[in-house]
Amino acid sequence: MDFRYADCAGAQKLNVILWRDAMGDQAVPAMLKERCKKTKDDDDD
């Protein structure tokens, strides 16, 4: 993982690593394996 710059590490991969560190061999929840959906910034104000 590239930690030289902020937010260069993949969030999905980092979440799984943090889960494994904290929870050991317990199954990783599906919500941590999902990719984040980008939302359209539609703020017209």
Q: What is the pLDDT of residues 10-41, one digit of tens each?
A: 788 888 999 999 999 999 888 877 776 666 66
More confident residue, 31 or 3: 31
Domain that holds residue 30: 7-34
Is 43 contained in some domain? Answer: no
Looking at the structure of the chain, the number of domains it has is 1
Q: Residue 26 and residue 18: Cα distance in Å, rounded?
A: 12
Q: Please give the model's pTM, rounded to 2 decimal places.
A: 0.57
Q: What is the pLDDT of residue 23?
A: 94
Q: Residue 13 and residue 18: Cα distance in Å, rounded?
A: 9
Q: Residue 13 and residue 43: Cα distance in Å, rounded?
A: 30
Is 40 contained in some domain? Answer: no
